């Protein structure tokens, strides 16, 4: 039995996504900018996908720009807003962001840009009073505020609409990195009041290497790469038509799932069931940010005193795939910057693993994890106490 509980790292492409991509590569391989018939057919396939992605987000198809993924999408928005507002040389973001945003902000900061790091409460949610104070003092100099909707490590949700209203009042472009949100919860673009949202196909059972920006018409965000006129001049470069077609299929499947309460309800309880079972079986386990509003699919759970890497290796041997911190930092022994920024003590941060599910996760996988994880923790605790005794 295998349990794949690493859906925030990536999700398995749906069979219909794979089929659509394969047939696109066989039959719709022409350049979608070409005027001949084959080019027009490729363009049509791409435009159908744009409609499907737009429908999932709730925006107009014209608002959607395809990119090479969530990283490029977020960076295009942030750098594009900075380029559009040279009279506002500062940016604002949080230390809790995915590295795609956090490291861009750090890199801009190291080259002289003022970055206002938003204050958050210990539960990982942005402090709105501190944001009010920041915008009152510095709002006029900030071009863009970037705040993720759902955290990829803890699942903590940010009050995106409240932040957007404040940004609007200060003339600040608001971007949300919604990579972990889109496809797992409904996205009602018209109620958000934001300027730009970014997402990624591979988190919603689509292919890797394709993402999207939804952008408000008239938002102060420039195209940052000169080149061809693709994507209405917003993103130069020949489009990844097969990837986009796969994204469209995945978006349509996610939308259909999201409106079907009978299908969503059982998925929503999977992680809660697993957390309850683990807390009952392992008395000193801690669910990080347990009291915060969280996405239904993510659990950041700590086994203080153990090393996450050791836990993950043993879990993997016994058929449970999970991760520590961000997937991109696997191989590093440092606890993730997000857990550090949340102020978790070292023994808790070092012993934290992330369990994340998707709508394709089965109750059988959760049962398997419920049996395997406590056994692995017990074994690691026994071997670490034996090695402490041995070293005396």
Q: Which residues here bind ligand PLP, judged by CB under 6 A?
A: 69-71, 98, 100, 148, 152, 177, 179-180, 200, 211
Strands 286-287 and 298-302, sheet pairing: antiparallel
Strands 286-287 and 90-94, sheet pairing: unpaired
What DSSP element (H or E) covers 175?
strand 173-177
Minimum Å gap between C-beta 209 and ligand PLP is 8
Minimum Å gap between C-beta 247 and ligand PLP is 11
Which of the following is catalytic: 167, 199, 267, 328? 328
Q: Which is nearer to ligand PLP, 297 or 361 (CB)?
A: 297
Q: Which is nearer to ligand PLP, 24 or 178 (CB)?
A: 178
Burial 340-376 (b: 16+ CB within 10 A, else e): ebbebeeebbbbbbbbbbbbebeeebbebbbebbbeb
Identify how many contiguous H helices and E strands the chain contains and give both numbers.
14, 12
Q: Which is nearer to ligand PLP, 77 or 315 (CB)?
A: 77
What DSSP element (H or E) covers 286?
strand 286-287
Structure tokens at 362: 């089965």
Cα–Cα dist 180/187, whole Å? 12
Structure tokens at 51: 């409609």
Minimum Å gap between C-beta 138 and ligand PLP is 25
Minimum Å gap between C-beta 61 and ligand PLP is 21
Q: Cα dihedral angle (358, 363, 366, 370), rounded to 10 degrees? A: 160
Which residue blocks in 206-269 are alpha helix, DSSP H?
A: 241-258, 261-268
Minimum Å gap between C-beta 63 and ligand PLP is 19
Minimum Å gap between C-beta 179 and ligand PLP is 4
Minimum Å gap between C-beta 51 and ligand PLP is 21
Q: Which is nearer to ligand PLP, 100 or 244 (CB)?
A: 100
Q: Which is nearer to ligand PLP, 177 or 195 (CB)?
A: 177
Q: Which is nearer to ligand PLP, 216 or 354 (CB)?
A: 354
- Torsional sign, CA 44, 46, 52, 56: negative
Q: Which residues contact 35 (CB under 8 A, 6 or more apart)?
A: none
Structure tokens at 11: 């999700």
Q: Which is nearer to ligand PLP, 100 or 215 (CB)?
A: 100
Find the residue with minimal CB distance to ligand PLP.
70
Q: Is 76 exposed, middle or buried (0-12, 13-18, 19+ CB in 10 A)?
A: buried
Ordered DSSP codes for 1-47 = --EE-BTTT--PPPHHHHHHHHHHHHH--S-TT--SHHHHHHHHHHH
For residues 198 and 73, the answer to whether their CB atoms sit within 8 Å is yes
- Catalytic residue at 328? yes
Q: Residue 296 CB: number of other CB atoms within 10 A?
A: 17
Catalytic residues: 328
């Amino acid at each position: 039995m295998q349990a794949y509980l690493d859906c925030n790292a990536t999700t398995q492409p749906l069979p219909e996504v794979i089929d659509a991509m394969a047939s696109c590569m066989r039959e719709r391989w022409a350049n979608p900018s070409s005027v001949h018939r084959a080019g027009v057919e490729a363009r049509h396939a791409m435009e159908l996908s744009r409609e499907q992605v737009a429908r999932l987000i709730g925006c107009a198809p014209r608002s959607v720009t395809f990119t090479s993924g969530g990283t490029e999408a977020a960076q295009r928005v942030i750098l594009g807003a900075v380029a559009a507002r040279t009279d506002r040389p500062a940016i604002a973001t949080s230390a809790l962001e995915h590295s795609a945003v956090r490291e861009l902000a750090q890199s801009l900061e190291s080259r002289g840009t003022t970055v206002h790091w938003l204050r958050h409460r210990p539960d990982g949610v942005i402090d709105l009073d501190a944001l009010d104070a920041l915008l009152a003092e510095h709002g006029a100099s900030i071009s863009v505020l970037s705040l993720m909707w759902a955290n990829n490590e803890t699942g903590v949700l940010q009050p995106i609409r409240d932040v957007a209203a404040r940004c609007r009042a200060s003339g600040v472009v608001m971007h949300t990195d919604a990579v972990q949100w889109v496809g797992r919860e409904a996205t009602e673009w018209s109620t958000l009041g934001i300027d730009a949202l970014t997402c990624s196909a591979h988190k919603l059972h689509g292919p890797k290497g394709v993402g999207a920006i939804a952008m408000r018409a008239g938002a102060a965000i420039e195209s940052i790469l000169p080149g061809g006129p693709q994507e209405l001049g917003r993103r130069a470069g020949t489009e990844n038509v097969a990837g986009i077609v796969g994204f469209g299929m995945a978006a349509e499947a996610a939308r259909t799932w999201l409106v079907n309460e009978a299908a969503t309800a059982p998925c929503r309880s999977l992680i809660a069931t697993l957390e309850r079972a683990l807390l009952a079986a392992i008395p000193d386990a801690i669910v990080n940010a347990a009291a915060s509003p969280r996405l239904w699919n993510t659990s950041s759970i700590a086994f203080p005193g153990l090393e996450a890497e050791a836990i993950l290796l043993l879990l993997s041997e016994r058929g449970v795939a999970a991760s520590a911190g961000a997937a991109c930092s696997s191989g590093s022994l440092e606890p993730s910057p997000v857990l550090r920024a949340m102020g978790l003590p070292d023994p808790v941060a070092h012993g934290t693993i992330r369990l994340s599910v998707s709508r394709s996760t089965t109750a059988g996988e959760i049962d398997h994890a419920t049996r395997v994880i406590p056994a692995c923790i017990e074994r690691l605790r026994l071997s670490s106490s034996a090695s402490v005794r041995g070293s005396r």
